[in-house]
Amino acid sequence: MSQSFVYQAQPARVIFGRGTSARLPDEADRLGLRRLLVLSTPQQTALATQVQQLLGERAAGAFAGATMHTPIEVTERALAVVKELGIDGVVSVGGGSTTGLGKAIALRTDLPQIVLPTTYAGSEMTPLLGETRDGVKTTQRSPKVLPEVVVYDVDLTLSLPLQMSALSAFNAIAHAVEALYAPDGNPIVSLMAEEGVRAIVDALPRMMREPGDATARADVLYGAWLCACCLGSVTMGLHHKLCHTLGGLFDLPHAQTHAIVLPHALAYNAPEIPVALTHLRRAFKTEDPVQALLQLERECGIPLALRDIGMPRDGVARAIEQAMANPYGNPRRIEAGALGQLLERAWAGEGV
């Protein structure tokens, strides 16, 4: 090994398997938590109630107002509940929206977090937080927002609707793809990225055929965990910048935006990332990972155009302006003309 690199492992405790939710009370006790607030979206209140029952007297209350892109005003409402109930820790149950709210609370209070992911979004394994204020989504990195414990329970993903499962899986793949060409990447992260993509790509068709196949679900969740580790270990580039810009400007659904933009961003960077493409060729078992990615998205029946998820036609110019406003690392130089072509294709759902 002649390459010099720096690898910073994230100090999160991970529990993976089936039925692992039952270990929640023990994990709360291990952290010395006695007054936990259970967080969820409005759609997952039933699951949040189950978690409260599992925690018993350790659960002091619930807040079911988590929503996409972590709006500041939602965080402020949750913080009022934290203060009112004398909360000493949070349990986030759900996907990226709920995890984001838990992180936003932790940033301001330094309260411990336990996360039970129900999707493959991956935020639970990162020291990153994206928040939205007045239509602008900004991302920051802080060790204060990294959850202390992540409990991956395959059983919690079995009821995740198929299309949302696929979208969330492509969101995970995006983390690994960008990690492979990150300016601060390293061979350890590259190993996790390739294995994460391979696991998801291998298991997705099985999961789509048999949604209740626990083995396929476990393989996708395993791959998503590895991809999330990548997201938390290195900086992201053009793809994530565009998705955050589009999400903040037009309130687009997070996973759908990632799935649509990913093949276009990968094609944009392809001429400058030969090593990353070698990893992806092995993971996809094909010489053309960009087309393989598009084909897999078609087979999963997910949206392929930004216009189909709510982006207005005149939004391309606004997105270019905001994406160009702040410099960020990317293997290929960001140019307004080429970026416009990328967004036009993604908006219309055209091939790359």
- pLDDT tens sequence across 1-36: 557 888 888 878 999 999 999 999 999 999 999 999
Has residue 2 been placed in a domain? Answer: no
Q: What was the pLDDT predicted at 269? A: 97
Residue 138, CA distances (Å) to 38, 77, 133, 324 in order: 25, 20, 8, 14
Are 178 and 327 in a shared domain?
A: yes
Has residue 7 been placed in a domain? Answer: no
Tell me what percent of the residues of the chain surpass a pLDDT of 70. Answer: 99
Are 175 and 124 in a shared domain?
A: no
Enumerate residues 6+ apart whose C-beta is below 8 A from 32.
none
Boundaries of domain holding 234: 162-348
Are 174 and 61 in a shared domain?
A: no
Q: Is 109's pLDDT higher than 60?
A: yes
Has residue 1 been placed in a domain? Answer: no
Has residue 190 been placed in a domain? Answer: yes
Are 207 and 99 in a shared domain?
A: no
Has residue 4 been placed in a domain? Answer: no
CATH number, residue 207: 1.20.1090.10
Q: What was the pLDDT predicted at 9? A: 82
Quote the number of domains for the chain.
2
Instruction: Please write the tens of the pLDDT for every residue from 179-212.
Output: 999 999 999 999 999 999 999 999 999 999 999 9
Lowest mean pLDDT among 57-66, 254-263, 275-284: 254-263
Instruction: Please write the tens of the pLDDT for every residue from 58-72.
Output: 999 999 999 988 999
Contact 173, 227 (CB under 8 A): yes
Instruction: Please write the tens of the pLDDT for every residue from 207-241.
Output: 999 999 999 999 999 999 999 999 989 998 999 99
Give whichever of 80-84, 120-124, 227-231, 247-251 has the largest mean pLDDT. 80-84
Are 101 and 177 in a shared domain?
A: no
Are 166 and 151 in a shared domain?
A: no
Average pLDDT of every residue of the chain: 94
**Helix, strand, or coil here: 334?**
coil
Pick from 212, 220, 35, 15: nearest CA to 124: 15
Are 212 and 343 in a shared domain?
A: yes
Q: How many CB atoms lie within 10 A of CB 267?
A: 18
Has residue 301 been placed in a domain? Answer: yes
pTM for the model stands at 0.91
96 or 106, greater pLDDT: 106
Please identify, among 123, 157, 191, the residue that sits at the C-terminal boundary of a domain: 157
Please identify, among 122, 157, 192, the residue that sits at the C-terminal boundary of a domain: 157
Tokens of 169: 């899986």
Tell me what percent of the residues of the chain surpass a pLDDT of 90. Answer: 84
Q: What was the pLDDT predicted at 37? A: 98
Lowest mean pLDDT among 128-137, 199-208, 298-307: 128-137
Are 137 and 222 in a shared domain?
A: no
Are 273 and 195 in a shared domain?
A: yes
Q: Is 288's pLDDT higher than 90?
A: yes
Contact 256, 167 (CB under 8 A): yes
